[in-house]
Amino acid sequence: MKIVITGGAGFLGARLARALLELPTLRLGGADPQPLEQLVLVDRTAPPADLAGSPRVQVVTGDLVELLEARPAQVVPDDADAVVHLASAVSGECEADFDLGMRSNLRAGQLLLERCRALGRAPLFVFSSSLAVFGSAPGLPLPEAVADDTLPTPQSSYGVQKFVLEQLVADYGRKGWLRARNLRLMTVSVRPGRPNGAASSFLSGMIREPLAGQRSICPVPPETPVALSSPSRTVEGLLRALQTDDAEWGPRTALNLPALTTTPAQMAAALERVAGARAVDLIDWTIDPAIARVVTSWPARMDSRRAAALGLHADASYEDVVREYLREQPSA
């Protein structure tokens, strides 16, 4: 069995890769268990050393659009059984640079779908979409809880790009060119490493930086409700998408992963219970209207019945999420 992960050197991509390599066998799309023979990790940079050094890992580095235009078989080999498409420009970047988002998200996705179509063997295709496909618009407010069949009304370029690619993935699946798995991820917190250009980046930074003794900024009002998922729950959803058969997965429309609904104020309270008041004192509550406008347009409560039927559940509490981060990042 051969699986491709775009964005394979990123935080989620590397974590998913490790989880796949640890499995003795995998029931890809509900088929009989088979061992993973090769994992192709595609990204602009090389993955961490433990992955790059694995005999079962093939590393492909470069710009995804350029690679797919010039050497598509290097990105998705002719015998690929599955593709997990994680590579993406993030929300804040796409809002600041429209052309970047259209190229990195839409153009790259289209080329990747065409490569899968050219294989002629209908690989399983897991696309990591986002809760940003939903947005509260004037005269069209979101329901109290967003369900899998709620009409997407994105209020950012990033959300539009994700939703357009969802529809393309579904249509390629309808045509029989691939087995479609659209998965809407929640904001992942706590992410290790450096801040990125996502509008939601502060939802990790307001925990990660204080734990490292550094100041951080929360750019939205403290009582803003947000929908979060820990890294482990997010990867759990991606693994389930890879192993579920078509009948159990259900329609080609996107599936919402479960979310823990919380607020920055509650997150700070959880941080205080874990690390004390000195950590919370390092958070600066400074409103950024541009970020607040994007974040407050996103849904905060998800009705994830399809995910629950697959055995997927939200984190029990944000305090558990913080403690998980500290267990996995002892240097924090």
Q: Which two tokens stand for residue 197?
A: 């250009």
> By the 8 A CB rule, do 40 and 4 touch?
yes
- ω before 322 within 30° of 0 (cis)? no
Catalytic residue, chosen from 158, 172, 318, 325, is: 158
> By the 8 A CB rule, do 259 and 39 touch?
no
Q: Examine the residue annotation and report whether 158 is marked as an active-site residue of this protein.
A: yes
End-to-end CA, the chain: 37
Q: Which two tokens stand for residue 160?
A: 């539009």
Burial grade of 134 (CB within 10 A; 0-12, 13-18, 19 or more): buried
> What is the DSSP secondary-structure string of 24-85?
S-B-GGG-S-B---EEEEEESSPPPHHHHT-TTEEEEES-HHHHHHH-HHHHS-TT--EEEE
Residues serving a catalytic function are: 158
